Structure 1
Amino acid sequence: MEIHEYARLDAIALRELIATGKVSAAEVEEVARRALELANARLNALTMPLFSPALEHAGRGPFAGVPFLIKDSAPLAEGVPFSIGTRAIPPHITAERDTEVMSRFRAAGLVTLGQTTAPEMAISFATESARYGITRNPWDLDRGTGGSSGGSAALVAAGAVPMAHGSDGAGSIRIPASACGLVGLKPTRGRTPAGPGADEHGFGMSYDFALTRTVRDAAHLLDAVAGPGVGDKYEVPRPARPYAGELGAEPERLRVALSVRSWSGGTVDPEVAEATIAAARLLEEFGHDVGEAGPEVTPEEIVEGCRHQLAAVAAPYLMAPVDLPKQVFAEVAWKVVEEARSLSAMELLAGFARQNALTRKVGAFFTRYDLLVTPTLAWPPAPHGTFDFDDAEQTTTGWLESIFQYGPFTMLFNVSGQPAISLPLGQSSGGLPIGVQLVAPYGREDLLLRLAARFEEAMPWCDRTPPHHVAAGQAGSDSGSSAR
């Protein structure tokens, strides 16, 4: 198998080739390693050399033999170093055990080959850090990949792996999906497990899943990892049938809300707005009722509803057994640590009350509508350096407000818990990807996947590849062996 052949296949297609013996899992892994090295040399999206050997996994499973990557967002996999993009965590510190979702990745047969970059503390919509430098977008090396799952997004978009782990605390799966032209699903709160070390990531605002190139990969992977872990405090109602069974199913007639005015009070790029409106028009053609509407929340409510999550982000550093000097942190990260250190119990409870109020407002909105359509980002992928994480004058609130201008439509659903998906439905006049976000009522990933599959059929995106895709110029020149 050659790189140009491998890089255009999604995870399900690769699994079918392996299962039928047309190519071996070892051949797929070997070509994936070459593709990853080639892509990373351009994009700087890996935190360390590739794992050798790959992380242990089941030899059977729905994705047996499919290459995969994990994000440097937490102590995820036993024995693997993690840093969350900061110099404050020494390189010798490793995860003590697998998280439940990592155990499920292994059980699904995914072959984890490496770890991808994230911004410091994973609290930026730009994957740029003092520890790892700038991660570059395969659509334009001068543009960012979004954050915080930017390393995963870059390598999936470049064709180096068909899908990769991501986590989403304020849009951190959906925003890189939009910036890199991918499918990015944030599940319902509680759909994927947070244990065994926690009942809720980020006070219930952070979610583990993945970035994919196709809707069917997202559906099959959700089938593999969804559901509560043993002893989990919360359990989301299970779907009536597997998510993969929603592909090709016709949704009932829906009441669809369209919102393209920025919820931050900022501007939305006209091309982004037009791509979103075009998606809504297509929903009308599908037979759904579309009107302009959105949750009745203010920018201040959204930002304040997210602020207390910063305490959860800073908690591992505050509980560290050693003093951490300011010099090892970027300025904004240090201010997050300081604010978390000074936070009182009453202030934290007030934050939970704000989250509860927002959750109820959004829940009420979805009693009137079955689906909400918005842009994912307000603008096409931002140039590097747009967000200064080392600005000594910046405050934590000011930082949240600045990234909220870029990603005004995603944070709210981290607070309120509804499932949301970003689909690569548009392109700017300069050829940059534009994502459109679909949001469904609590627990309705089935509806999102039905609609996403319809969009993928009507507005196919898989043939659109970035200039810095690993298959570019590879046909006929790859030294890999051909599959028989």
Structure 2
Amino acid sequence: MADAAAMIDVLAGEEGYRAAVDTPPPPLRIALVWRTPLGRPPMAAEHRRAVADTADRLRDLGHRVTEADLPLGARPWPQFMTRYLRGVADDVARLPHPEWLEPRTRRLAGAGARVPDRTLAWARTAEAGLHALMVGFFAEHDLILQPGWVRRPSRIGRYHGSGIATTLAAVGTHIPYFPTWNVMGYPVAAVPVGFDQVGMPIGVQLIGPTGSERLLLSLSGQYERAHPWTDRRPAL
């Protein structure tokens, strides 16, 4: 956490992030949110257990952790897909040699190029409505706790040669908790909390409202001191 915070000090051009890691937070109201915009997804038992254990550990540190649902419903999902597809198309259009890309990436860019400007404008404008819905939620909760990946990441090359729909559907089932925060733009801390049965790390997300970076670093630093992990190294 200290490394991440020091990097933010440099990138932001202001101090205070690194110091926040060493400053314990006050008792916080943390919402444990299991549902995504598309419902509660299937999750590997060891990942679910890691999130529940993290909630208990945060309670042991003096924080109040209660289960809650976000007031957003399914709204973030179409906004995410609109911005994701069009974003790929816009990025590819700026490349000097798009022919060097994998065929799947070129097809994905082609699909995104069919997203009209008015639809992209709708997605960007609708973001304000999502923020408005979260005002009341963050009046009752300081931060959010959610899973990161819901199962072990796929092996390299697992989707090589697969089509757009197959790849997006398969990858999406692994990371259903990420798109909401890609749309909202809230600060998120990805915190290692354990390891699965083959030694791969398991993480959770801590999410806060706009401007809560220092609070997230403070809580993450407190958690890391209570449950250190940096001495864990894979065997050579």
Name the TM-score class by shorter chain. 0.7 to 0.9
Partner of 1:245: 19
User: What residue number does 2:34 align with?
Assistant: 260
Question: In structure 2, what is the equivalent of residue 223 of structure 1?
Answer: 9
Contact 1:219 1:243 in 2 (8 A): yes
Distance 1:319 1:461 in 2: 41
Query: Is 1:270 the counterpart of 2:45 in the alignment?
Result: yes
Partner in structure 2 of residue 8 of structure 1: none
Cα deviation, 1:345-395, whole Å, max 9, x if unaligned, reads 212212223433333334442222101111111112323344x26334x34
**Equivalent residues in 2 for 1:462-477 (5 A)?**
462-467=230-235, 472=236
2:72 maps to 297
Give 1:340 deviation, angstroms. Answer: 3.0
Comparing both structures, which one devotes a greater share of its residues to helix? 2
Matches within 5 A, 1:10-409: 215-227=1-13, 242-261=16-35, 264-265=38-39, 266-298=41-73, 300-307=74-81, 308-319=83-94, 325=99, 328-386=100-158, 388=159, 390-392=161-163, 394-395=164-165, 399-409=167-177
Distance of 1:452 and 1:410 partners within structure 2? 18
In 2 relative to 1, CA 405–321 (structure 1 residues): closer, same or farther, beyond 3 Å? closer
Give the 3 Å change call, closer, same or farther, for CA 276–335 of structure 1 in structure 2. same
Q: Deviations over 1:268-322 (max 9, x none)?
A: 1111111111111111112111100132334x53331212233233224325677
User: RMSD of aligned C-alpha atoms?
Assistant: 2.5
Give the structure 1 partner of residue 216 of structure 2. 448
Normalised by the size of structure 1, how large is the TM-score?
0.45
Cα distance in 2 for partners of 1:427, 1:330 equals 33
The alpha carbon displacement at 1:253 in A equals 1.9
Pair 1:336–1:253, CA change in 2 (3 A): same
Matched residues in 2 for 1:349 and 1:243: separation?
A: 34
Q: Which amino acid aligns with 1:224?
A: V
The runs of 5 or more residues in structure 1 that have no matched partner are 1-214, 228-237, 473-484
Aligned length: 234
Distance in 2 of aligned mates of 1:321 and 1:453? 42
Shift of 1:457: 0.9
**Structure-2 change in CA distance of 1:316 and 1:374 (3 Å):** closer
Which of these two proteins has the greater Rg computed from alpha carbons?
Answer: 1
Kindly provide the CA deviation profile for residues 66-89 of structure 1, in whole angstroms up to 9, marking residues without a partner as x.
xxxxxxxxxxxxxxxxxxxxxxxx
Question: Structure 2 length normalisation: TM-score?
Answer: 0.86
Over 3 Å counting, the alpha-carbon distance change for 1:268 and 1:378 in structure 2 is same
Alpha-carbon offset, residue 436 of structure 1 = 1.3
3-state SS of 1:424 partner: strand
